Structure 1
Amino acid sequence: MAITIACIGSGNMGSALMKGAVKIIGGENISFTDPNQEKAQALADEIGARVFPSNYDAVKDAEFVFLAVKPQVLGTVLEEIAPALQMRIEEKKPAILVSMAAGWTIRKIQILLDVGSTAKLMGPDWAEANPALTKPVPVVRIMPNTPALISQGVIAMAASPQVPEETLAELERLLSSTGIVDRIDESYMDAVTGLSGSGPAFVYLFIEALADGGVQAGLPRDKALRYAAQTVLGAAAMVKETGKHPGELKDMVTSPAGTTIAGVAALENGRFRGTVINAVEAAYKRSKQLG
């Protein structure tokens, strides 16, 4: 029997993961919902998928239900699909919920689905602490990043005990079409969000600044940007492929009294490393707040 996926949301992340999944299961086994029906239909047409009129309809039969929505609206979506998910548990055909919402723990998602409006009325702190789970929905929490759009992403993954190992391996195979998949303890997920989830934006800023430096030194803009992007790509590949510490690789480039050490000194004077650390920490803290 073919794997089926319902993807709630057709934004960058949802579309990236589904464009990877279509290579494995085909578009006929993928469906979308989105408040913007035109956007969802355009994506569905591109990969040969279909569009459902409501979130409830989309999750009634899918094996995997991807929640590709922003953390701020996840609660509303869970409220809409809870009856369908609970019905499937009663029928002993539970759907596997795959959430990529920053900050939302597996526990919180399960309780909001289990007790619905009660948890909403009592508030998030109560929902997180309440021990009563009568019919827990199987949930997998993932944190992908935007390079998944070109199959170069990093996807961290943690699952609830209700997800069978063979099903988790199946999901891992689907996600691997968009990049590296790494299983982690859920307690690390906010840190992953701050590092690899938000990290591409920090790298883009660095590439832009590197290219600006080249322009200031006299390079044409197109060449400066091309050289900056390839330099970052090549440096990252060196870290991955050699297995050497970045500090060791840096030392290989910095000859005594040379050009590189002069540039490194300028970065250190500007607190480059401390600023990057602070950026990851700020994103990590924001992820926790969103939950």
Structure 2
Amino acid sequence: MKIGFIGGGAMTEAIVCGISSQPWIKPQDIYVSDHKEDRCNYLKEKYSINAIVGAQSFIKTADVVILAIKPQTAFKAVDEIKDSVDAGAIIISIIAGLALADLEKSFPDNPVIRVMPNTPMAVSAGMSAIATGSKTKKADANIAERIFSSAGQAVIVEEKLMDAVSGLSGSGPAFIFILIDAMSDAGVRAGLKRDTAVKLAAQTVFGSAKMVLETGMHPAQLRDQVTSPGGTTIEGVHIMEQRGVRGAMIDAITAAVEKSKAMGKK
């Protein structure tokens, strides 16, 4: 399988980092096109892949083409390659807000798939949602799942839910980083060294998330297990509720969802 990326930004690097160590693909079969030569050299040296300015050398022979460019430059980039891709190539877009219907207009002969991944793919802990187009077969969807679950987990969703995915898991890591930073600040305020506080906070978030995933229990049930009557945890939970932390998180994700919808309309 030959996979070609249009765009060499942070999300492309996260995916490349995830798949480059997999046994089913060789680094020499991964291609990245980016308009910055320095960026290409960096990706080439770090991951031993092919990274070049311009996609002409691989676009006609790629089995999978992953569109990983910014929304504002998406249509220009698509116009540059749409007549060069092989009719059997799978087109995968990770462009926020770009609908399958618009992609299928540009690639009428290709199976088209839309994916919303997130940056923890870079550490094999990503979360990706996959929506399939009208000409996508099960085998095509399986390939997309293989790519994006190689560095985390992937789920199939209806396209109408992609804005919700964008706000929740796409933007979500940024919100969690803010929480980790705030938790470590509290640790420093209580007397801990910064590096120790960051490690304690980050591992606590990681472990808590792992408990939710592996036990299948509702987060509220797990919270109750930690919350002893009259103890320290309920004191902190009370302050969080009083200060509206839960509401702030809901509002932040809702705002991100609405922004994704607005970008799609543009």
Write the deviation string for residues 214-237 of structure 1: whole angstroms up to 9, x where unpaired. 111222222211111111111111
**Is 1:104 aligned to 2:98, yes or no?**
yes
Counterpart pick for 1:17 among 1, 15, 18:
15
Which position in structure 2 is the counterpart of 1:175?
148
Instruction: Determine helix, strand or coil for the equivalent of 2:250.
Output: helix
Q: What amino acid is the match of 1:9?
A: G
Q: What amino acid is the match of 2:75?
A: G
1:1-291 to structure 2, matched below 5 A, reads 3-22=1-20, 23=22, 24-85=24-85, 88-89=86-87, 94-111=88-105, 113=106, 135-291=108-264
Q: Which whole-Å CA distance do the structure 1 matches of 2:56 and 2:137 have between them?
A: 24
Write the deviation string for residues 121-166 of structure 1: whole angstroms up to 9, x where unpaired. xxxxxxxxxxxxxx34321100111110011000111111212212
Q: What amino acid is the match of 2:213?
A: K
Runs of 4+ in 1 over 4 A off after TM superposition: none
Instruction: State whether residues 111 and 140 of structure 2, in contact with CA within 8 Å, keep that contact through their aligned partners in structure 1.
Output: no
Instruction: State whether residues 72 and 290 of structure 1, in contact with CA within 8 Å, keep that contact through their aligned partners in structure 2.
Output: no
Deviation, structure 1 residue 55: 3.2
Instruction: Determine helix, strand or coil for the equivalent of 2:84.
Output: helix
Instruction: State whether residues 158 and 183 of structure 1, in contact with CA within 8 Å, keep that contact through their aligned partners in structure 2.
Output: yes
How many percent of aligned residue pairs carry the same amino acid? 40
Q: Which whole-Å CA distance do the structure 1 matches of 2:164 and 2:56 have between them?
A: 32
Q: Which whole-Å CA distance do the structure 2 matches of 1:47 and 1:205 have between them?
A: 29
State which drifts further: 143-152 or 166-175.
166-175
- Structure 1 unaligned blocks of 5 or more: 115-134
Instruction: Determine helix, strand or coil for the equivalent of 1:84.
Output: coil
Question: Aligned pair count?
Answer: 262
- Structure 2 unaligned blocks of 5 or more: none
Q: Which whole-Å CA distance do the structure 2 matches of 1:175 and 1:186 have between them?
A: 17
TM-score when scaled to structure 1? Answer: 0.86
Instruction: Determine helix, strand or coil for the equivalent of 1:83.
Output: coil
Q: What amino acid is the match of 2:41?
A: Q
Instruction: State whether residues 37 and 52 of structure 2, in contact with CA within 8 Å, keep that contact through their aligned partners in structure 1.
Output: no
Instruction: State whether residues 117 and 148 of structure 2, in contact with CA within 8 Å, keep that contact through their aligned partners in structure 1.
Output: no
TM-score when scaled to structure 2? Answer: 0.93
Q: Which whole-Å CA distance do the structure 1 matches of 2:185 and 2:228 have between them?
A: 24
Deviation, structure 1 residue 42: 2.2
Q: Which whole-Å CA distance do the structure 1 matches of 2:194 and 2:158 have between them?
A: 44
Q: Which whole-Å CA distance do the structure 2 matches of 1:52 and 1:208 have between them?
A: 37
Q: Which whole-Å CA distance do the structure 2 matches of 1:171 and 1:251 have between them?
A: 38
Deviation, structure 1 residue 56: 4.5
Return the structure number with greater helix share.
1
Query: Greater CA radius of gyration, 1 or 2?
Result: 1
State which drifts further: 76-85 or 150-159.
76-85
Q: Which whole-Å CA distance do the structure 2 matches of 1:51 and 1:215 have between them?
A: 42
Instruction: State whether residues 52 and 58 of structure 1, in contact with CA within 8 Å, keep that contact through their aligned partners in structure 2.
Output: no
Q: Which whole-Å CA distance do the structure 1 matches of 2:16 and 2:242 have between them?
A: 44
Q: Which whole-Å CA distance do the structure 2 matches of 1:256 and 1:277 have between them?
A: 27
